[in-house]
Amino acid sequence: MTFARMRESMILIHVGRKLNEQPREQGAREQGYIGRFLALYIHQNQLASSVRLVDKQLPELAMLAPEFASACSKDKFVQADASRPDILAKLLKTPAGKIYDYIFNCGGETRYSQDDAVYRNRSYMLSLSLGQAVADAGGCKAFVEVSTGFVYAPDKAPRREHDRCKPWLKLAKWKLEAEEALGKLQLQKQGGAVGGGAGGGRGGLPLVVMRTAHVYGPYTGRWLGTALALARVYQQLGKDMKFLWGRELKTSCVHVEDVARALWTAATWRASLPASTSVSPFSAGANDAATAFPVFNVVDHGATTQAALAGLVNEVFAIPTTFTNAFINTFARMNLEHVVDDVNDETLDPWSEMLRKSDCVENTPLTPFMEKELLQDKDVNLDGTRFERVAGFKYKHERITKAEVQDVIESYKRMNWWP
């Protein structure tokens, strides 16, 4: 299925990150990162006649590269806390007084290792409040919820949308809670029917959930950004870069430009469904029927592993990359916090010194800081064929390559983030 270019109105939640976040909380917030690239894609392709961007942070306080200036300009931006129901009703309306056609929730807490209360308040409640407000306002054509592929039980086999969910990060646990709450809200408002309605009809909560793999691309601040910062430190120290667990650990990923395109494709696909469409062909496949809603994995074709990432680090930085043996891996499983602390102690001070000597900006979003919660022996392994089959989506960045990594580093240099 293909979709013609449309001139729709849309609202996008969260495009920035706090400029003054402390180093251990840094790494450009993933969904703010996704949000700015979605805004850029819509702007460059003239897909929307009216755009509203909502965030707690002003664009001037976010580390936006120059190419985002027009896409995230002041005239499109509203500073607000979108988790507050009392202001959502106004945020959702266009200047003409109608609800926006497409609503993308790219918001939520994306730092790791936070308390449950943080994720509940900043992710779960944001999603639920926004979904409730959309439903109460009479619905839109498409409500796109950006979620994470970390909701699945880890497995060597690629996880499909109907596979068992068992989040191993607190961040993912609350994203899954949000998905399920929105699914139940959709059924309450629509009586189990899916679809904004072919020809632009509205009603209820026309939900579609997009579960992303590790997202990378220009200006990325975590996963790949952390790996590149570590590699740069080890290059400076003249040491090998060692990887825990093994060569075959799965690290599925996807380029941010493809994520932006996928979100827009999902919105147009969702809006095209007639109101009578059954949910069954597009359900999440969960045991609870109340979670039956369209859900898609967003992941490239690279089937990326740690071995592939290590090979790229070796090619780009010309440093040896090795994998720890079974004895060290066993010790690490029992003493992961100690291992992570050792790595951070070894790399954070040299990184800070490198930044100082290079006259880089003080608050670069890059850091080699490793998170214990993320550095677990868990596969991130997604199958994204359903979205390609159902929505006709095609990836432009099929796998992470040396050229892609070099492009990321060049983006850091343009922003004076790279020592």
What are the residue ranges spanned by the domains of the chain?
Answer: 8-193+200-222+253-300+381-397
Checking if the pLDDT of 212 tops 90, the result is: yes
What is the spatial distance between Cα 245 and Cα 128, in angstroms, rounded to a whole number? 37
Q: Which token pair is 224?
A: 């790949």
pLDDT of residue 316: 97
Checking if the pLDDT of 7 tops 80, the result is: no
Strands (E), 287-361: 295-298, 321-323
pLDDT of residue 279: 45
pLDDT of residue 217: 97
Residue 2, CB half-sphere, CA atoms under 13 Å: how many?
Answer: 3
pLDDT of residue 214: 96
- Amino acid (1-letter code) at residue 333: R
What is the spatial distance between Cα 128 and Cα 123, in angstroms, rounded to a whole number? 9
Q: pLDDT tens-digit profile of 101-113?
A: 999 999 888 888 8
Checking if the pLDDT of 15 tops 80, the result is: no
Checking if the pLDDT of 389 tops 80, the result is: yes
Checking if the pLDDT of 286 tops 50, the result is: no
Let me know how many helices (H) and strands (E) the chain has, helices first: 12, 11
Average pLDDT of the residues in 83-88 = 80
Average pLDDT of the residues in 206-233 = 95
Task: Please give the helix or strand (H or E) that residue 359 lies within, else none.
Answer: none
Q: Name the band, by pLDDT with cuts 50, 70 and 90, for residue 97.
A: confident
Q: Name the band, by pLDDT with cuts 50, 70 and 90, for residue 71.
A: very high
Average pLDDT of every residue of the chain:
84
pLDDT of residue 96: 84
- Lowest-pLDDT range of 96-100, 266-270, 386-390, 407-411: 96-100
CATH topology of domain 8-193+200-222+253-300+381-397: Rossmann fold (3.40.50)
Checking if the pLDDT of 200 tops 80, the result is: no
Average pLDDT of the residues in 257-286 = 75
Checking if the pLDDT of 251 tops 50, the result is: yes
Q: What is the DSSP letter of 19?
A: T
Q: Name the band, by pLDDT with cuts 50, 70 and 90, for residue 393.
A: very high
pLDDT of residue 57: 75
Higher pLDDT, 89 or 131: 131
Average pLDDT of the residues in 253-275 = 93
Number of other CB atoms surrounding residue 167 within 10 Å = 17
Q: pLDDT tens-digit profile of 309-361?
A: 999 999 999 999 999 888 888 888 888 889 999 999 999 999 999 999 998 88
Q: Which token pair is 346?
A: 């070894």
pLDDT of residue 23: 28
Q: What angle do CA 32, 35, 41 make, to 5 degrees?
A: 150
Of residues 363, 343, 344, the one with CA closest to residue 416: 363
Checking if the pLDDT of 83 tops 90, the result is: no
Q: Name the band, by pLDDT with cuts 50, 70 and 90, for residue 397.
A: very high
Q: What is the DSSP letter of 378?
A: -
Share of the chain above pLDDT 70, in %: 84
Hey, what long-range contacts does 159-167 have (CB within 8 A, 24 or more apart)? Answer: 159/297, 159/381, 159/382, 159/383, 160/297, 160/383, 160/386, 161/211, 161/284, 161/285, 161/295, 161/296, 161/297, 161/386, 162/283, 162/284, 162/285, 163/285, 165/286
pLDDT of residue 287: 40
77 DSSP β-pair partners: 53
pTM of the model: 0.90
pLDDT of residue 20: 33
Checking if the pLDDT of 370 tops 80, the result is: yes
Q: Name the band, by pLDDT with cuts 50, 70 and 90, for residue 288.
A: very low
Question: SS3 helix, strand, coil % of the chain, rounded to 5?
Answer: 45, 15, 40
